[in-house]
Structure 1
């Protein structure tokens, strides 16, 4: 049937009209609609389907949603698309024992007999019994004389065999490395093969350069670019219309520009710059210049990424009380003395930088909150929107401080899944059952008025927002089963808000993205299932049938009814 002809009282035709939809706008002023119109990449109208003909002309592209749910495009507030998942690595996800790790490496070696390096990723700490960390001796039997580097699933640690220790110059008198800190045997002083702080050092500009110069293939620019474009393809497929890449050096920015030039950057991107300890005032000047140079709606550079502590699984997060396992009295360490970190945040805040601070342990989180409080006292309150990223183990006394200080809780729901962090896993065992009530308190933070910004932390966890939403709503394993700490679940609408408007606000994008509102960018997703109405266990497996960025269809799953002219994004 042809659209009704435009009359003198009709608006000018839209470029795209979405019809027959159940639109959840995430905008309280107009919570729901059945249709919308787009012109010049922006939403110009939302309303009843019966009125959509008024916006339709001969050149209008019409998308028939067929009653499906439409949401704002997801904004993944912490997604390491540049780390991605590397096809050249041995994949260890799901390997639950050392023997299984050996089998996967052996199978890879059989397919790549001439490989100069063995590289693997997604090692799970729980694959080794009794909470111990791996050693070179654990790798040597299956890797032989070929250097091997295995990255943990969170990329916070590296595991080297004896040949790699030698190739990378790790010795008893050289354990403080550009790419991490090598652990040593307490009896002999020899390096064990386990390197911590890899995310802080190995992913820094200097650390990455050192690995590249030492011949580690994983660190090469082409391997980085391959990971990036593969992850970007996944992002748009999952309906992620804005990606926040949280940790980059200035050297990495050309990778994003290349992806855009080659048509591989179909989502919008916000890139945070890494601020390791020792970053100079001259570096800050360079960061500010990069932010001015990259301030478009497709690529924006600006926030700074810092670390205050590491992670719970290898017992390197900073806790208020000692770990329940491991060395008696050990509480983990902060990367900065408390006063030094507070002075640093005061300085960065005074210069107008927004800070994303990695903090997982309750002492690490409190250190950051105290520093933000100091910055507000010294510099005066401003709309800084500093973020604490992860918020894994939060003391109840600090819950209200997020809203009081205007600090965003950037959280990754999938991290708290029982099969990842719950009873029997290293996270839960290391903090001890007496502190489980502190684990990822999403509902408590939301009730206290904090801004929740949800994300995947890919490739630490699955990128798919459906998996994150399912976990936030159920706290159950992906395969079903008993919930862990269900009192901290949130409802689906809250989880959707955190993946859209919450993440938009967290990144100063709320005037442009995060809701389907007249005047905002036309970034939206048509889902295969109505996740606001179906049973929670059916949320995983829901797919993005159609993804639109700036009014252009950037992805189609093969279903849906789309007619009219098409211009690639």
Structure 2
């Protein structure tokens, strides 16, 4: 072995290190100096790296993995303690019960705000209305966010407070849906992710007095989510949608010691983004470019989501006549837009869930390559929920990364009886989250949680990727032909996500020279029955050679 001339700062021993590096797949020990890995090898050779000030970390035979890289995690949205929590409420009656209980505990509140309502809780497969909220909210304005934060549900008082009527439907923070017979707004607002989470949308909500949009509330959500991330062993978070104003929140978190996970922050490119905006984005990328906080990719949308039937499909939604959703841009316009961004050297994260939306993005990337010449752009299609098999090989051919969220493919979220599966219809279920097909075709998989749409814990995503079963309780797998093995799932949460974000020389594997970001797990998820993957805990989390989190829970 090569002996060090200077002792290491930290030595990890008695570990089963799964490196995600084919050059040295496994090790028993590693040494860290100045925040980077300087050696991997056997326990027998580890003593050569130990000096009087070296910290010894005994893994007790446990599995050690590279720190997880969550490639799509909305830590700024988080989970808001000031909101009524509707996750798990399966009926309108349950939603009413939770709002009543919250109101009783918060008398005299100026606003009722709630989050994580599930579309399937509304009877008959319809979208919610103000009339559904009014009985339990009365004259207090109420704003309810869907679990995917793509839509908002308002009561009558909130419609009045926000100035929404039949003559004011195109809002800074969304598009008000109207009753087809009366033309009046129903209380349901779509396009919230595209407009409400933009710089202008947040400003409008703040000016209208919506507490959820206040900076201190935003920071509270961010700080809580960052604490959760490090507790799960997520050592790098890719926050996929930010305005320039939001960067101050990350700076505050860093100054206050809350930024224990590293951050990659993508900037939102809504319609109307100007050349001056792009210049400002490029300047921000130059300003924030270290291993703790990096700014640079651009986030765009081509379509919305399947559950409220706003994703763009090749064929109509089941039971909806000719309706097949819309793209936010005509294909030719989007191709020209992406080509221009590609020419300026920007990497693009494009939200696309429907098969027509995905194809539109792939066509745009092909157009950009033809116009600008091939380059290592690593544009991402984010979600890839409903993919036509004809487009599967195009990811690898065009160098497009599939940034996917395995947990979304679970039967308890999207399977039979849920809105996603019912809207798509059984004849198209084979298109659902085709992880194995994409991997077999050579695509790079960058796996992620999409918190707070689904659980942040990587164990939930890995379990679902491996089983396609419900996370809790018994249940049959859904589309099990698209499962992947544990090794591939781990790679998607480490090296795949590192590569997707141009980080593969610094992170994603435990290799000499890379940042010493790793996690010691309470169970060996490579060896246990997959049913035991959920509940596995990050017992020790190390970032840059510093122990930043410990837990003994199992």
Gaps of 5+ in 2: none
Does structure 2 conserve the Cα–Cα contact (< 8 Å) formed by 1:19 and 1:35? Answer: yes
Gaps of 5+ in 1: 1-7, 561-569
Match of residue 86 from structure 2: 92
* Displaced runs of 4 or more, over 2 A: 8-11
SS of the counterpart of 1:80? coil
Residue deviations 1:57-111 (CA, integer Å, cap 9, x gap):
1100100001000000000000000000000000000000001000000000000
In 2, Cα distance between the equivalents of 1:131 and 1:371? Answer: 34
Does structure 2 conserve the Cα–Cα contact (< 8 Å) formed by 1:342 and 1:370? Answer: yes
Q: 1:337 aligns with which of 330, 346, 355?
A: 330
Match of residue 6 from structure 2: 12
SS of the counterpart of 2:386? coil
Residues 1:148 and 1:10: Cα distance change in structure 2 (over 3 Å): closer
Q: 1:475 aligns with which of 444, 468, 474?
A: 468
Match of residue 377 from structure 1: 370
Does structure 2 conserve the Cα–Cα contact (< 8 Å) formed by 1:390 and 1:409? Answer: yes
Residue deviations 1:23-80 (CA, integer Å, cap 9, x gap):
0000000000000000000000000010000000110010000100000000000000
Q: 2:411 aligns with which of 413, 418, 436?
A: 418
In 2, Cα distance between the equivalents of 1:9 and 1:417? Answer: 48
Does structure 1 conserve the Cα–Cα contact (< 8 Å) formed by 2:537 and 2:553? Answer: no
SS of the counterpart of 1:272? strand
In 1, Cα distance between the equivalents of 2:450 and 2:470? Answer: 18
In 2, Cα distance between the equivalents of 1:463 and 1:79? Answer: 8
Does structure 1 conserve the Cα–Cα contact (< 8 Å) formed by 2:89 and 2:117? Answer: yes
TM-score (norm 1): 0.96
Q: 1:465 aligns with which of 452, 458, 477?
A: 458
Shift of 1:558: 3.9
Of residues 473-482 and 8-17 in structure 1, the stretch that sits farther from structure 2 once superposed is 8-17
Match of residue 480 from structure 2: 486
In 2, Cα distance between the equivalents of 1:249 and 1:177? Answer: 18
Match of residue 206 from structure 1: 200
TM-score (norm 2): 0.99
In 2, Cα distance between the equivalents of 1:297 and 1:189? Answer: 52
Residues 1:9 and 1:273: Cα distance change in structure 2 (over 3 Å): closer
SS of the counterpart of 1:99? helix
Match of residue 142 from structure 2: 148
In 1, Cα distance between the equivalents of 2:178 and 2:64? Answer: 54
Matched, 1:354 2:347: yes
Shift of 1:114: 1.3
Match of residue 209 from structure 2: 215
In 2, Cα distance between the equivalents of 1:494 and 1:290? Answer: 34
Does structure 2 conserve the Cα–Cα contact (< 8 Å) formed by 1:11 and 1:54? Answer: no
In 1, Cα distance between the equivalents of 2:401 and 2:552? Answer: 37
Residues 1:9 and 1:474: Cα distance change in structure 2 (over 3 Å): closer
Shift of 1:169: 0.6
Does structure 1 conserve the Cα–Cα contact (< 8 Å) formed by 2:92 and 2:123? Answer: no
SS of the counterpart of 1:199? helix
Q: 2:492 aligns with which of 491, 495, 498?
A: 498
Residue deviations 1:428-466 (CA, integer Å, cap 9, x gap):
000000000000000000000000000000000000000
In 2, Cα distance between the equivalents of 1:138 and 1:468? Answer: 33
Residue deviations 1:472-516 (CA, integer Å, cap 9, x gap):
000000123100000000000000000000000000000000000
SS of the counterpart of 1:134? coil
